[in-house]
Amino acid sequence: MSIKTVKRKRQRLVCAALVLVLAALLSGCGQKNRDAEYVGAVLDCLYKGRTAELCEITQSSEKEAASLHDKAVADQTSYLGFMFGIGECSAESAQKLRDKVASLYSLMKYGVEETDGKIIISYSPCYAIQELKQRLSERLERYEGETEDDYAELVAEILGDILSEGPSFGPEEKLEASIEEGVITQGTLGGLDLKILPY
């Protein structure tokens, strides 16, 4: 499978369901003239798990908004497992990895502003996954685990070390957000996700 195909698969995995959740949240809410606030609230919910502003803008419940964050973290965890070859593991090991992904998401750096009628997302790419690849490669040379749980916990442990030390970030970049019929597009969410957390 080519890297381009893998990236497309990630983009579809991470954001197709998110756009459906957002569309459901926005049905009939009327958030005109608040596009920048709305995009910021979506990103805060998606990455940080902050739901209050999105609930207020979309007139949705806490549970509905929280499902956006939960879905994003679950999809990113699945994709991480796919990329790193983690097979079927226990619920406990899977939860450890999911918790690390949620912690990683909470560190994302971004901002939203409206300039000349355009919604601009500024972000700094986080290189935690690239650091994970490098460290995992080094650790696998002396790896003695035998089960999928051992391997999943090794990945979670290394990711936890990176989070404790503080992952590295690149210089700020910008992306124009697209909003169609009041909903941030799949292309915007997928494009940002590929850039803010490159593999």
Asked if 65 and 15 touch (Cβ cutoff 8 Å), the reply is no
pLDDT at residue 1 in the model: 44
Total domains, the chain:
1
Residue 82 in this model has a pLDDT that exceeds 70: yes
- Condensed to tens digits (0 to 9), the pLDDT of residues 93-151 reads 889 999 999 999 999 999 999 988 899 999 999 999 999 999 998 888 787 777 888 88
Range(s) of the domain holding residue 129? 3-196
Q: Which residues contact 138 (CB under 8 A, 6 or more apart)?
A: none
Identify which of 97, 94, 98, 96 has the alpha carbon closest to the alpha carbon of residue 69. 98
Name the packing angle between helices 62-83 and 91-106 (round to 10°). 110
Name the packing angle between helices 62-83 and 3-26 (round to 10°). 170
**What whole-number percentage of the chain has pLDDT above 90?**
47
d(CA 12, CA 169): 24
pLDDT at residue 60 in the model: 85
Residue 180 in this model has a pLDDT that exceeds 80: yes
Residue 199 in this model has a pLDDT that exceeds 80: yes
